[in-house]
Structure 1
Amino acid sequence: MYQQILAPIGGSLALSAAVASSPLIVLLVSLGVLRLRADVAAACGLLAAVLIAAFAYRLPATPLLSGIAQGAAFGIFPIAWIMVNAVWVNRLLDASGLLSVVRRTFTSLSDDRRVQALVVAFYFGALLEATAGFGAPVVVVAAILLALGLAPIRAATVAMFADAGGAAFGSMGTPIAALAKAASLPAEELGRMTGRQSAVVALFVPFVILLVLDGRRGVHRTISTLHRVRRRPHCARSPPT
């Protein structure tokens, strides 16, 4: 049975980790710097991973091909499948006219675009991440932000940053369950550790969203707006007849 080599590069764990991360770097450089198509960039990243696994980690052909097949299957089901259905639901809402209802619901909370983005991306996106995950929050939130009037690049950027807070518990805690199975560690302990770390990350996510939307002044103005909304008196309810 194959035993994984933890430090194959010069016996250094740090250097081995740097080499092991090179497929991800190849993918990001291919997409962001070389502007290659997504399928070509993915193929380059896969080729880099295969070369490192075969020559650096001396992974046999059978588990190597099995890992490639499992990764492809996991990428199609459920990740790509959920994203395709999320896009389909968004188009269905748009065609039925219900997307305007969603837009009015979020715009009725505040006229401030920054407050709308916080509610949609951070709060509603966290709900979508917990229930669906696998990229669905980014797709749905970006579509709603586009409907609210944000530019495409800014809407996608806000949706990506907002998803950082709860990604570890996405899709009913699937990442925690997968990590527990891969590392042979108790899922409860991993969940507690991840929860403490995610809370720290989530504390800074709203401020990052505001910085993306409107810079440093956006942070101060949004805090002032939220303070005014919080102090706004509620409408008195009419007595029952």
Structure 2
Amino acid sequence: MTWTQIYDPMGNLALSAFMAAIPMIIIFYLLAIRRTPGQIAGAAAVTSAVLVAILVYKMPVATALTATGMGAMYGVFPIFWIVITAIFIYNMTVETGQFEIIKNSIASITDDRRLQALLIAFAFGAFLEGAAGFGTPVAISAGMLVGLGFNPLYAAGLCLIANTAPVAFGGIGIPIIVAGQVTGLDTMKISQMVGRQLPFLSVIIPIWLVVLMSGWKSAMEVLPACLVAGISFATVQYLSSNFIGPELPDILSALATIVALTVFLRSWKPAKIWRFADEKAAATATKIPVYSLGTIIKAWSPFIVLTVMVILWGLKPIQAVIDAVSLKILVPGLDKAVMQVAPIAKQSTAMAALYKVNWLSAAGTALFIASIISAAILGVGLSRFCNIFVKTFKQLTKPLITIPCVLGLAYVMNYSGMSSTLGLFLAGTGSFFPFFSAFLGWLGVFLTGSDTSANALFGNLQAVTAQQVGMDPVLAVAANSSGGVTGKMISPQSIAVATAATGLVGKEGDLFNFTVLHSLTLAVMVGLMTYAQAYILTWMIP
């Protein structure tokens, strides 16, 4: 039996939009005001969404629960599978002592704090965002900077702001992949569009960081290095996102930046070494071990193997072969059980519900194989390998609850028509919607702490609203992701991770004040860029 979506169940679009927004209001209140843990906030929000779908939208109980379950399953596979395998590789480098060598190999390039911030907060943080995401880069990079002698507040704040440029392609491209899944749009086109927005931010972020650290005059002393970092990152980010896909822009851009800066700093040095005014002399005299090239390559080998495997998995000929063994399940009770109607659909359309278990072609599988190869290189035996994996799983028990809850929330909102109601209401902004589409992404990441979750929550809403106002849906969904990255630095989850990594627990308010103005300024920039691309620079839309 087919159930038809209703977009104005209350007979008043504003009131219907309010009812549809209840799950958003709940998650905002729990995360932003009550500072409730993500897994609890996610569970409360998805529960409220199911209740609204059933009681207000009159969605059949079984259909609502099935839609929620399908979203939750996508949260487990392929998304959580990528998260656990990526962090597993990182944990393996830590457990074997190789990560210490990685850290020192970067820190040994320069003892100038401004340049260390570029290498670690900007470049290496982006690499970790690309490989793992979900809070890992800020925690690791901030901890490294504090270990090098940075003021904890600056270490945390700089890493949060630096994490702007890579977030949309974090976790092997998961935010873009999820955006494609929940909207039905071509993932490659979304990747291309985001790759035609974020590089503009990537160029200026290194300068932004150094100005924040040391002031404009001091930043001009290292302007050449800032330009090398920003331009190298932005160039590779654009090329990889437009011609390879969403999985590798962060990893390749970060590696290009690290290499470019390292080579550049061999022949160029700032006129004077800069450190924080309150740094103790002892803290600046830390001796860093000197390693052989072979030792450094071995330490970096897990991430080198990871990059190679992801590249191979993304090649079309290989992808065609390994994707052939996927299990495709038409979800009973949901597939063709929900009917979309005008004005959301041009004609009445039964929504498909296909759950694809691409167990071999999934990016997480590529990472797991990379972990096996890395274990052989690092001499990790089977027993230790299993112990580290179990430890990683225990470390991620809370995300294992949070991610499925947020994906379940997104799916039940989409299948019930709640997202469509909000989209129709937001269409009232008319020609100004391209500007506000970036702020919708900003709000989503502020609430959830994740560009992936924000795309799951608001991706379909963006696409629906874009269709209503005559905006290209690909641009709107891309703006959700690009605008979302500017909200990452002020999300309660990100701030909690940063304060925990730098010993600032209890001073979350200080860190929020440190980043909020930068967050809003960057969000305005993305909004203006999106507006220009919607009406003036339309040739930039793929």
Q: Is the shorter-chain TM-score for this pair beyond 0.5, marking a shared fold?
A: yes
* Counterpart contact for 1:90–1:143, Cα < 8 Å: no
User: TM-score of the superposition, structure 1-length normalised?
Assistant: 0.68
Cα gap change, 1:133 to 1:233, in 2 (>3 Å): closer
Matches within 5 A, 1:89-238: 89-130=89-130, 132-133=131-132, 135=134, 138-149=135-146, 158-203=158-203, 205-206=205-206, 209=209, 214=213, 217-218=214-215, 220-227=217-224, 234=267
Deviations 1:168-207 (A, max 9, x none): 3345544444434443434444333322233344455446
Deviations 1:64-101 (A, max 9, x none): 21232233333334444544455544444334322221
**Aligned twin of 1:76:** 76
Amino acid in the other structure paired with 2:109? L
Cα gap change, 1:22 to 1:96, in 2 (>3 Å): same
CA–CA separation in structure 2 for the residues paired with 1:180 and 1:87: 24
Cα gap change, 1:31 to 1:177, in 2 (>3 Å): closer
Deviations 1:24-83 (A, max 9, x none): 442243234223344332222222322333334433323321232233333334444544
Cα gap change, 1:40 to 1:141, in 2 (>3 Å): closer
**Aligned twin of 1:35:** 35
Cα gap change, 1:166 to 1:22, in 2 (>3 Å): farther
Moved more, 99-108 or 80-89: 80-89
Residue-pair matches, total: 227
Cα deviation, residue 144, structure 1: 3.6
* Counterpart contact for 1:78–1:134, Cα < 8 Å: no
Gapped regions of structure 1 (runs ≥ 5) = 236-241
Cα deviation, residue 139, structure 1: 0.7
* Counterpart contact for 2:121–2:159, Cα < 8 Å: yes
* Counterpart contact for 1:5–1:57, Cα < 8 Å: yes
* Counterpart contact for 2:23–2:45, Cα < 8 Å: yes
Amino acid in the other structure paired with 1:47? T
Cα gap change, 1:219 to 1:140, in 2 (>3 Å): same
**Aligned twin of 1:238:** none
Cα gap change, 1:46 to 1:159, in 2 (>3 Å): farther
- Paired residue secondary structure (1:148): helix
* Counterpart contact for 1:86–1:139, Cα < 8 Å: no
CA–CA separation in structure 2 for the residues paired with 1:123 and 1:227: 16
Amino acid in the other structure paired with 2:66? S
CA–CA separation in structure 2 for the residues paired with 1:21 and 1:164: 27
User: TM-score of the superposition, structure 2-length normalised?
Assistant: 0.35
Cα gap change, 1:143 to 1:133, in 2 (>3 Å): closer
Moved more, 114-123 or 154-163: 154-163
CA–CA separation in structure 1 for the residues paired with 2:152 and 2:84: 19
Q: What do you get for the CA RMSD once the two structures are aligned?
A: 3.9
* Counterpart contact for 2:207–2:219, Cα < 8 Å: no
CA–CA separation in structure 2 for the residues paired with 1:23 and 1:153: 33
Cα deviation, residue 12, structure 1: 4.6
Does structure 1 residue 58 correspond to structure 2 residue 58? yes
